Structure 1
């Protein structure tokens, strides 16, 4: 099976009368038990709904599982000092036994800029700051010397294996960022044909690299196995099934789809 199937951990809820934020341990364990490939956390300081801290969530998920991949989808890298982000990433790699995948993005404007202002970061500069952070992130995570300010070179210890990094976003600047800094590219809600066209554009810029996609899929209707095959043919390596309500049901359905796709 070449397309991995992942799910999003219950880190956020739009309905405070139906809290699910205490279910991280149970949901991570259950995702592994039913055979899913990965679990993911979203990342915001202040969002349009209550949201848990992504690094704590992923550390918790890693602590109660043995096999499953844990990942950021996506980390708002520019929201943090890059050295601090690198420390979190390398620590997660070490405590998870190298099961981390790092998605990086610049944030959804739908959540507004209040979280960025609270962190002291200029929302309008988040693209530039993300590029600057990505330029030094691999060295920092690996425990190599890196310049984090013009007058400051630092080395973090202990370093770790650098996790696979995918860069999210659909515009030309995001495509250039993925081509330059990413091992892969991520998007949300695109059809297989849209994914194929975007990857063609990105790989033309990627200096010989052949990036694949991680896709938070739209609701898959009709022949779901056929749709997964279309995503694979378009260059997708991971499909993340979006939440629809009860995470138990979502995970069961995702695991069933994975099984049917594997047996096709």
Structure 2
């Protein structure tokens, strides 16, 4: 499998000592010119460092590009009423020309629980709330009538093509959530040597739900500057890697990602 390469846009970092806020339009244009597959925006309400709103970032990236895919990396679905999340996604699908990739997760513990508290959402219940939302999200995005968790039936107009849903998280519950609801599973820092074992687990879980095995995306793959080792991720069955921001700055990060994409 030829691996796809994406980059995180310069919108944030979980490290408050190293804030990352860069030129979104410039980074998006450079990534498309460089032949990358996808652009990704992180998501939170109150994070441990400055972070831009993901929907605004992705709308901006989509507006200045034509081909490259744009994705939530990842949307904290439980922070929002699910109907509102569906409206955001369907609108982004429309303005981007169906280029969305919808990563979904329950949050990086590095950010703590203050964002959840600010949104009036129980941090402890975020997994359950995410599951409840994922059950109805595809129908809502598509414009079909769906029953919300409280029983209210609602339809979002206009509907849109449901983007691939990629569920993030390295724990067993996250992998099961990916198998139950997702088209893909997102891991952070997964070593290439561990891919086969994770694929086997995903296959077993997908069989339980009578669904296809989710495709695998790895954020921050462990490869140094060795493009051959990155290519090994594809050979092991990984669909996509997403390279994170570094201290080199977004210009060099995008340039490096383009070099890697060309090499693999």
Please name the residue that 2:185 is paired with. 185
Q: Deviations over 1:100-144 (max 9, x none)?
A: 000000001121000000000000000000000000000000000
Please name the residue that 1:241 is paired with. 243
* Off by >6 Å, runs of 4+ in structure 1: 14-19
User: Which runs of 5 or more residues in structure 2 are unaligned?
Assistant: none
Please name the residue that 1:251 is paired with. 254
CA distance in 2, matches of 1:17, 1:104: 26
Aligned residues of 1:61 and 1:70 also touching (Cα < 8 A) = yes
Please name the residue that 2:9 is paired with. 9
Specify the SS of the correspondent of 2:101. strand
Specify the SS of the correspondent of 1:158. coil
Please name the residue that 1:43 is paired with. 43
Please name the residue that 2:231 is paired with. 229
Aligned residues of 2:179 and 2:211 also touching (Cα < 8 A) = no
CA distance in 2, matches of 1:22, 1:240: 18
Aligned residues of 2:165 and 2:183 also touching (Cα < 8 A) = yes
CA distance in 2, matches of 1:180, 1:110: 26
Please name the residue that 2:147 is paired with. 147
User: Which runs of 5 or more residues in structure 1 are unaligned?
Assistant: none
CA distance in 2, matches of 1:234, 1:148: 39
CA distance in 1, matches of 2:17, 2:114: 24
Specify the SS of the correspondent of 1:124. coil
CA RMSD of aligned residues (A): 1.8
Alpha-carbon distance, 1:225 to partner: 2.4
Say which is worse superposed, 28-37 or 191-200, in terms of deviation. 191-200
Say which is worse superposed, 189-198 or 127-136, in terms of deviation. 189-198
The number of residues matched between the two structures is 260
Specify the SS of the correspondent of 1:236. coil
Aligned residues of 2:221 and 2:241 also touching (Cα < 8 A) = no
Mapping of 1:1-264 within 5 angstroms?
Answer: 2-12=2-12, 21-206=21-206, 207-221=210-224, 224-245=226-247, 246-261=249-264
The TM-score normalised by the length of structure 2 is 0.94
Aligned residues of 2:15 and 2:48 also touching (Cα < 8 A) = no
